[in-house]
Amino acid sequence: MSWSAWWMLTLEVTVGIILDLFLALLAGTILVSIWKGRISLNKLLSEANGDASLSRLQFLIFTFVIALSLFLVILSQSTAPAFPKEIPAGIFALLGISASSYLVSKGIQFSNPAGLGSPALTLTPTSLQVVAGMAATTFTATVVNCSQGAATPAITWALDAPAHGSIVTQPNGAAVYTPAPGIAAGTTVTIRAQAAGFTDGTVIITY
């Protein structure tokens, strides 16, 4: 073996070892972070609204299957393990099918607001500045990220402490807030609407 060939072989082996050690360290760091709870896998197979995602599961399984298939192709080389000169077309076909189904599912999801996030309550008006002599203000709660035509759930209205003023529940997801007299300027109060299975709706009231 010539000196140049020996040098190239040594360089290839050295670079390969360095890359393997780096990837092993990176993988170990990720696994430790998952084990200690610093990286959460709760959303790995679920949509933004918490529903299970078949497209994500399929994409994950296909990724592992294709990676394992390529690994077996590398090991099955006749002389020694080596990256194939030509990757089988079936691997690209599987990748394309998996990615296409995932993209189609995301398109369907984004066409339906219910799939974009967790069900939540939103309040109107979105803010309130109390001035002297102001009358009671009516707030209305509506649902977002739900299927079209979803009924308004039973809503509980409350004021976060310190609860300056009063809140009285009204029909159809509404409530009336009456400001408290004699509150110092700059005081803030949070009005909160709650319903089972929904993210709270809040509005900051400023005196």
Q: What is the DSSP secondary-structure string of 83-147?
A: --SS--HHHHHHHHHHHHHHHHHHHHHHTSGGGSS--EEEEESSEEE--TT---EEEEEEEESS-
**Domains of the chain from N-terminus onward:** 3-112 (no CATH), 120-206 (2.60.40.1080)
44: nearest Cα among 34, 35, 57: 57
β-sheet bridge partners, residue 86: none
Does the predicted TM-score (pTM) go above 0.75?
A: no
Residue partners of 193: CB distance under 8 A and separation at least 6:
121, 123, 139, 141, 155, 156, 157, 173, 175, 200, 201, 202
pLDDT at position 175 is 92
pLDDT mean over 68-96: 76
**For 137-195, how does the pLDDT look when each residue is reduced to its tens digit (9 = 90+)?**
999 988 877 666 566 788 999 999 888 889 999 988 899 999 888 888 888 999 999 98
**For 85-133, how does the pLDDT look when each residue is reduced to its tens digit (9 = 90+)?**
777 777 778 778 877 877 777 676 666 554 556 778 889 998 889 888 7
Q: CA 124 to CA 153: how far, in whole Å? A: 16
Q: Does residue 72 surpass a pLDDT of 90?
A: no
155: nearest Cα among 139, 137, 138, 174: 174
pLDDT at position 11 is 84
Q: 45-49, 56-60, 122-126: which has the highest mean pLDDT?
A: 122-126
